[in-house]
Amino acid sequence: MAQGLEVALTDLQSSRNNVQHHTEEITVDHLLVRRGQAFNLTLYFRNRGFQPGRDNIIFVVETEDAVYLDSEPQRQEYVMNDYGFIYQGNKNWIRPCPWNYGQFEEKIIDICLQLLDKSLHFQTDPATDCALRGSPVYVSRVVCAMINSNDDNGVLNGNWSENYTDGANPAEWTGSVAILKQWHATGCQPVRYGQCWVFAAVMCTVMRCLGIPTRVITNFDSGHDTDGNLIIDEYYDNTGRILGNKKDTIWNFHVWNECWMARKDLPPGYGGWQVLDATPQETSNGLYCCGPASVRAIKEGEVDLNYDTPFVFSMVNADCMSWLVQGGKEQKLHQDTSSVGNFISTKSIQSDERDDITENYKYEEGSLQERQVFLKALQKLKARRFHGSRRGAELQPSRSTPLSQDSPRSLDVPSLRPSDVVQVSLKFKMLDPPNMGQDISFALLALNMSSQFKDLKVNLSAQSLLHDGNPLPPFWQDVAFITLSPQEAKAYPCKISYSQYSQYLSTDKLIRISALGEEKSSPKKILVNKIVTLSYPSITINVLGAAIVNQPLSIQVIFANPLSEQVEGCVLTVEGSGLFKKQQKILLGVLKPQHRASVILETVPFKSGQRQIQANMRSNKFKDIKGYRNVYVNFAL
């Protein structure tokens, strides 16, 4: 009988294979290959050589690739690119926040695998968990739950309290690497603190590291509908001040992820981009995670498809109802069908420009199709609520907040009566750009569209907002009395001084100005508001000389105190994958009013290609003056 072959040594050809599979930036010491692509290995036998025709070697492999993108530019952007932008601000002032994803940095792959092993799924049933790791639907839900720490020792603690004394202000972060390495170094203790864009950015790093195409999405005026009726209720008092402690909110912006994957668990046509939201808002199947929800299902109102599609639908397409609270009673002011879900944004492919993808999520606001989809989604939610079968519950994991059972307007869409039509319009207009440290100048524009005289009393107020829509107490109020002739327009100028707002600002630098107008001898009310984001001058970064692998490089960082007062505790952080081995921190101390200064940093680039430097400066008065600079690193000649 012929003697069988005995394998003495297996050469995985890690260095060669990893280059061909674009994983050499992670490691060349261990084999790391991507799905659906050939790789080479060499077997050495102990007892004799391999004889073709006589010997057979059988490999058992599974080659299905459920996350394959057929576009090379998209693969380069959504898997290989290790930096990007997260869009913040408000719909009238969208600013890019540079971010270092760093998915190929040292130890990141090991930390990502450790993250999977620390999940409750693995801890409860490791065999089943490992068997399911070939499913991107399963893996994405596990990662989504592990990015926040609400159920486990996940990566990040969320904090929206404005008190960050025992951790980092979320606005200070400029990359995921420092967060993931801190989580690993402290024995998997949650890092303090994160908010939505930090959760999404870290999840992007983990998913790209695992080879799943991922991008970061910002939705401006994002609805958080807690009672599942697709209506966001906002309440105001008679001064125009928005009231807090309400269930529903409109986040000034909210950030989540899209991951590309097949969805064999859904009907045909619902694969592709899927929403995953790691920010802990509501639970799904008992854990704080959200998705994957098919973007196409959201656009078509198919809210009965897995996972958490109704919640995501409400974030981009809920209606907003404004109520006046006076004397313990609620009076409807107006319903807005287009205020939620604006300028849905992500970084463009192989470009630093912003890509508006709102049309992926919904039909054009005001169109017949958009209203039809909204009503279809509403009817599906009604069916779930009133006929909630067990089968329906299985199809869609329930969220922690049940659908409202007792509100008379819970699933009804009110329509405006002819008597609700107001013949006077109010609008805010900025007179100067709103810069931090300067007075805020704006005007209230009043227009009489009728053929009668109008006497108006307008209550104006200003209050700081957190980006999740929760208000802080008002710090400025005014009352305007305006008389308008038929068809007349008037401007009422307003100014809020720096001394009036400086001590009341939140980290988000958001101010909501509101006006509640009423006609003399009429019960009609007119509400208008505007969100103002105060801007800082950016940090300037100059690269002094050519950037070449393994050769010294000097980088100049120019920064300034934009305020007319002294600031203390100034710290500059600088990082960049392939340029710095770790995040750089420079203690700057005290900066005098309007003082401008610079520092020179020395580094040695260790990776070639397109790179990005990210910088942030914080002090006792501000936390997130940012800047970035793209750098192309060449090989040495």
Query: Exposed, middle or buried, 592 (CB in 10 Å: 0-12/13-18/19+)?
Result: exposed
Answer yes or no: is 365 a known binding residue. Answer: yes
Backbone phi, then psi, for 470, in 5-degree steps?
-75, 130
Query: Which residues lie closer than 8 Å to 139 by C-beta, 6 or more apart?
Result: 116, 132, 133, 210, 212
Taking the C-alpha atoms of residue 570 and residue 618, their distance in angstroms, rounded to an integer, is 5
Answer yes or no: is 630 a known binding residue. Answer: no
What percent of the chain has a predicted confidence (pLDDT) above 70?
93
pTM score, whole prediction: 0.89
Q: Is the pLDDT of residue 420 over 50?
A: no
What's the mean pLDDT when you consider all of the chain? Answer: 90
Residue ranges per structural domain of the chain: 1-65, 82-386, 424-533, 540-633
Amino acid at 371: R
How much is the pLDDT for 2? Answer: 62
Taking the C-alpha atoms of residue 547 and residue 554, their distance in angstroms, rounded to an integer, is 9
pLDDT, mean of residues 71-100: 96
Specify the range with the lowest mean pLDDT, choosing from 28-37, 241-250, 370-379: 241-250
Q: Is 387 noted as a catalytic residue in this protein?
A: no
| Cβ neighbours, 10 Å, residue 373 | 21
- Indicate the SS3 state at residue 209: helix
pLDDT, mean of residues 166-188: 97
Taking the C-alpha atoms of residue 337 and residue 365, their distance in angstroms, rounded to an integer, is 8
Query: Which residues lie closer than 8 Å to 70 by C-beta, 6 or more apart?
Result: none
pLDDT tens digits, one per residue of 103-156: 999 999 999 999 999 999 999 999 999 999 999 999 999 999 999 999 888 999
pLDDT tens digits, one per residue of 309-326: 999 999 999 999 999 998
Residue of 233, 254, 290, 467 with catalytic role: 254
pLDDT tens digits, one per residue of 484-505: 999 999 999 999 999 999 999 9
- Enumerate long-range contacts of 109-117, CB under 8 Å, 24 or more apart: 109/26, 109/27, 109/32, 109/209, 111/180, 111/181, 111/183, 111/184, 112/180, 112/206, 112/209, 112/210, 114/184, 114/188, 115/143, 115/146, 115/155, 115/206, 116/142, 116/143, 116/146
Residue of 227, 233, 277, 508 with catalytic role: 277
Look at the domain 540-633 and name its fold.
Immunoglobulin-like (2.60.40)
pLDDT, mean of residues 257-281: 97
Alpha carbons within 13 A on the beta-carbon side of 605: 24
Taking the C-alpha atoms of residue 179 and residue 174, their distance in angstroms, rounded to an integer, is 10
Q: Is the pLDDT of residue 421 over 80?
A: no
Q: How far is CA 557 from CA 191, 256, 539, 617, in A?
A: 28, 31, 7, 11
Q: Is the pLDDT of residue 601 over 70?
A: yes
Q: Is 144 noted as a catalytic residue in this protein?
A: no
pLDDT, mean of residues 354-369: 97
Backbone phi, then psi, for 499, in 5-degree steps?
-65, -25
β-sheet with 214-224: strand ranges across: 293-294, 272-276, 249-261, 214-224, 342-347, 354-356
According to DSSP, the β-strands at 214-224 and 191-194 are unpaired
Distance of CA 590 to the CA centre of its chain: 33
Per-residue pLDDT band at 35 (split at 50, 70, 90):
confident
pLDDT tens digits, one per residue of 505-556: 988 899 999 999 999 878 888 999 999 999 988 999 999 999 999 999 999 9
Q: Is the pLDDT of residue 1 over 90?
A: no
Domain with residues 82-386, CATH architecture:
Alpha-Beta Complex (3.90)
Pick the CATH number of 424-533 from 3.30.70.360, 2.60.40.10, 3.90.1300.10, 1.20.1250.20: 2.60.40.10
Answer yes or no: is 370 a known binding residue. Answer: yes
Reading the block at residue 17, the tokens are 């294979």
Q: Is 188 noted as a catalytic residue in this protein?
A: no
Chain position carrying tokens 């309400």: 246
Taking the C-alpha atoms of residue 624 and residue 25, their distance in angstroms, rounded to an integer, is 30
How much is the pLDDT for 40? Answer: 93
Domain pair 424-533 / 540-633, same fold? yes
Residue of 196, 204, 289, 320 with catalytic role: 196
Reading the block at residue 338, the tokens are 């287009």
Q: Is the pLDDT of residue 169 over 60?
A: yes
Reading the block at residue 353, the tokens are 């420009």
pLDDT tens digits, one per residue of 454-493: 999 999 999 999 888 889 999 999 999 999 999 999 999 9
